[in-house]
């Protein structure tokens, strides 16, 4: 249970504000997250980490000398937007380039990749190492599909130390990749977590039972068992991790490992120490030497009761950087010299607030009229998403991470405000949609946030700021938005994503408009097709996105992104038919 909050929608922003206020010695706030107060040394690599909020000390708590140069901090359990990542990286970087390092989640990959492209486009050398340590989330043959959990700390730690030592970007990247190749984690959970403002946990574990392999967002586990004794859990952890040695380690005996025994939120230090005692005995018996173990809360999930064990198989180089000094709000080790603090409060990047454009391009009256209809549509969209946020979250919790309702709510709300603000300043259709799309992507985070942001932007490009919009034009623009989502997200029809509702929608719209049906009627027919197609996704097995590792669990529940798409186009159909109040 999360007891202390104000408006749940503001929780992530408020926790970031308080975190920065309490840790000014190490961090300063920039758009999208935090960067090192003392800046990276001239010419050094900037390690930029990040992900959703709700996992403290990941990720802001790991920013400081010897560790990360910056952290992009998304909304609760939702990836940061590409603008957030870009802004943090720009602010954190010196001339040595940027290494982006984060856990392997679809939304994070989309947004960090987009930021990487943008940084490269501006001539900043930028590389990416994605953390894939959770052995429960895919087979060893598909290690690149595994999620990142507590083992991320090992990767960040050695990469941060290598950057602090002044190694170049090639070497820092190589060392981070090597650390990830040699890091394995395995976790269990005894109960789910409850997000601020939510009356029920995001996910449940039956009382007296233990979910084996459950992810840090409650992604369902691979097995369920009785809650074991501390020693039995230690035995399960050690035997499972010794059964999957990384390439280059033929035999556990005589090896040295970095170790993290991580508490997810409500398993406390005392219990962890009891488990650790046995873990070390068992590793010792296997001939494995533990080097500087970490036992405590290093990646959490609110009040989730869970524990994970991470082993990183060291060689000389990894051990050197694992043992090097680090000084951050939540993680300190040995001694490390900080540079001169930068007490200026300015953010190094300006104009990054998604959706707030400085100058409104000229528009015709005709296009302003379309823009007015679009802002009405954005209000209708926000209303339907607000009403359905709970359902969307529950749907996403079945096999995903439960954030679809919150993410869509934040995205739609921000898009509505940005669109309205632009329209009030006389913007045409393209500018209203572009502002709305950027705001959506920036505030929603997650996979769907990035895709919706792109889609709205594409619609804007199609509508322009000058021309009249016909039924044919709407159908053509929706086709372009659909193509954009497909090429950006690489999902095919049948993969169980929003694409499964979008394509039938556009097919139906094009056909009806082509046959001369008036737009309002054609849109309504297409919305019905989308609603049916979204419902039909319940039978599908997800082949892409966050639900993929738990494909079978998802069967019987429609895809949340397809469902929200159908809700949205249905709400818009009321606006096109003139049934929705055009005033606020």
Q: Which residues are catalytic?
A: 217
Q: Would you say 330 or 406 has its CB closer to ligand ADP?
A: 406
- Residue 569's alpha-carbon distances to 72, 251, 482, 565, in angstroms, are 32, 57, 13, 6
403 binds ligand ADP (CB under 6 A): yes
CB 545 → Mg ion: shortest distance, Å? 8
Q: Is 149 exposed, middle or buried (0-12, 13-18, 19+ CB in 10 A)?
A: buried
443 binds ligand ADP (CB under 6 A): no
In what helix (H) or strand (E) does residue 207 lie, and over which residues does it extend?
Answer: none
Closest residue to bound ligand ADP by CB: 561
Give the range of 241-249, 359-367, 488-496, 576-584 binding ligand ADP by CB under 6 A.
488-496
506 binds ligand ADP (CB under 6 A): no
Q: Would you say 407 or 460 has its CB closer to ligand ADP?
A: 407
404 binds ligand ADP (CB under 6 A): yes
106 binds ligand ADP (CB under 6 A): yes
CB 195 → Mg ion: shortest distance, Å? 12
Report the alpha-carbon distance of residue 499 to residue 492 in Å, rounded: 7
Task: Give which of ligand ADP, Mg ion, none residue 491 binds (C-beta under 5 to 8 Å, depending on kind).
Answer: ligand ADP
3-class state of residue 259 by DSSP: strand
Task: Give which of Mg ion, ligand ADP, none residue 560 binds (C-beta under 5 to 8 Å, depending on kind).
Answer: ligand ADP
Give the range of 143-151, 263-271, 299-307, 482-490 binding ligand ADP by CB under 6 A.
482-490
Backbone angles phi, psi at 388, to 5 degrees: -110, 5
User: Could you say which of 76, 561, 566, 575 contacts ligand ADP (CB under 6 A)?
Assistant: 561
Residues 373-412 that bind Mg ion (CB under 5 A): 396, 400-401, 403-404
3-class state of residue 308 by DSSP: strand
Residues 6+ apart with CB under 8 A from 18: none
Task: Give which of Mg ion, ligand ADP, none residue 498 binds (C-beta under 5 to 8 Å, depending on kind).
Answer: ligand ADP
- What's the number of CA atoms in the CB half-sphere (13 Å) around residue 243? 11
Residues 6+ apart with CB under 8 A from 506: 475, 478, 479, 482, 526
Report the alpha-carbon distance of residue 516 to residue 12 in Å, rounded: 48
DSSP of 527-569 = HHHHHHHHHHGGG----SSTTGGGHHHHTTS--HHHHHHHHHH
Task: Give which of ligand ADP, Mg ion, none residue 561 binds (C-beta under 5 to 8 Å, depending on kind).
Answer: ligand ADP
What is the contact surface with ligand ADP in residues (CB under 6 A)? 79, 106-107, 396, 400-401, 403-404, 407, 446-448, 451, 485, 489-491, 497-499, 544-546, 559-562
What is the contact surface with Mg ion in residues (CB under 5 A)? 396, 400-401, 403-404
């Amino acid at each position: 249970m999360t007891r202390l909050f104000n408006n749940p929608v503001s929780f992530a922003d408020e926790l970031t504000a308080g975190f920065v206020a309490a840790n000014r010695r190490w961090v300063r706030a920039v758009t999208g997250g935090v960067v090192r107060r003392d800046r990276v040394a001239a010419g050094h690599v900037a390690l930029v980490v990040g992900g959703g909020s709700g996992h403290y000390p990941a990720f802001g708590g790991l920013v400081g000398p010897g560790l990360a140069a910056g952290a992009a901090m998304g909304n609760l359990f939702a990836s940061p937007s590409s603008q957030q990542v870009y802004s943090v990286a720009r602010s954190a970087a010196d001339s040595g380039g940027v290494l982006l390092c984060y856990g392997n989640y679809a939304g994070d990959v989309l947004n960090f990749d987009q930021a990487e492209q943008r940084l490269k486009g501006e001539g900043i050398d930028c590389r990416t190492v994605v953390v894939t340590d959770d052995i429960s989330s895919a087979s060893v043959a598909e290690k690149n599909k595994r999620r990142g959990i507590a083992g991320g700390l090992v990767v960040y730690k050695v990469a941060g130390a290598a950057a602090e030592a002044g190694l170049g970007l090639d070497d820092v990247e190589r060392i981070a990749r090597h650390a990830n190749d040699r890091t394995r984690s395995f976790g269990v959970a005894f109960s789910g977590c409850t997000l601020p403002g939510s009356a029920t946990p995001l996910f449940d574990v039956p009382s007296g039972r233990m979910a084996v392999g459950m992810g840090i967002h409650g992604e369902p586990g691979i097995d369920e068992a009785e809650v074991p004794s501390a020693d039995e859990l230690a035995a399960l952890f050690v035997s499972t991790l010794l059964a999957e040695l990384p390439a280059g380690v033929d035999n556990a005996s005589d090896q040295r490992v970095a170790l993290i025994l991580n508490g997810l939120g409500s398993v406390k230090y005392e219990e962890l120490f009891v488990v650790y005692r046995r873990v070390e005995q068992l590793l010792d018996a296997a001939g494995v030497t533990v080097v500087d173990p970490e036992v405590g809360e290093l990646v959490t999930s609110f009040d989730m009761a869970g524990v994970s064990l991470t082993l990183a198989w060291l060689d000389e180089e990894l051990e050197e950087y694992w043992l090097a000094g680090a000084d951050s709000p939540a993680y300190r080790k040995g001694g490390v010299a900080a540079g001169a603090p930068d007490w200026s409060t300015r953010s190094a990047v300006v104009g990054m607030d998604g959706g707030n454009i400085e100058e409104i391009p000229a528009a015709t009256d005709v296009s302003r009229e379309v823009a007015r209809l679009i802002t009405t549509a954005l209000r209708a969209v926000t209303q339907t998403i607000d009403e359905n946020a709970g359902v969307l979250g529950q749907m996403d919790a079945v096999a995903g991470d439960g954030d679809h309702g919150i993410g869509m709510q934040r995205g739609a709300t921000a898009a509505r405000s940005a669109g309205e603000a632009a329209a009030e300043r006389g913007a045409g259709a393209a500018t209203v949609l572009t502002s709305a799309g950027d705001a959506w992507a920036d505030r929603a985070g997650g996979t769907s946030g990035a895709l919706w942001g792109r889609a709205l932007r594409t619609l804007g490009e199609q509508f322009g700021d000058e021309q009249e919009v016909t039924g044919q034009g709407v159908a053509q623009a929706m086709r372009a938005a659909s193509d954009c989502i497909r090429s950006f997200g690489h999902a095919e029809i049948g993969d169980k994503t929003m694409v499964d509702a979008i394509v039938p929608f556009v097919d139906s719209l094009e056909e009806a408009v082509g046959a001369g049906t008036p737009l309002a009627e054609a849109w309504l027919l297409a919305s019905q097709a989308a609603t049916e197609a979204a419902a039909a996704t319940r039978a599908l097995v997800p082949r892409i996105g966050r639900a993929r590792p738990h494909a079978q669990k998802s069967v019987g529940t429609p895809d949340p992104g397809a469902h929200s798409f159908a809700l949205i186009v249905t709400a818009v159909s009321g606006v096109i038919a003139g049934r929705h109040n055009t005033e606020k």
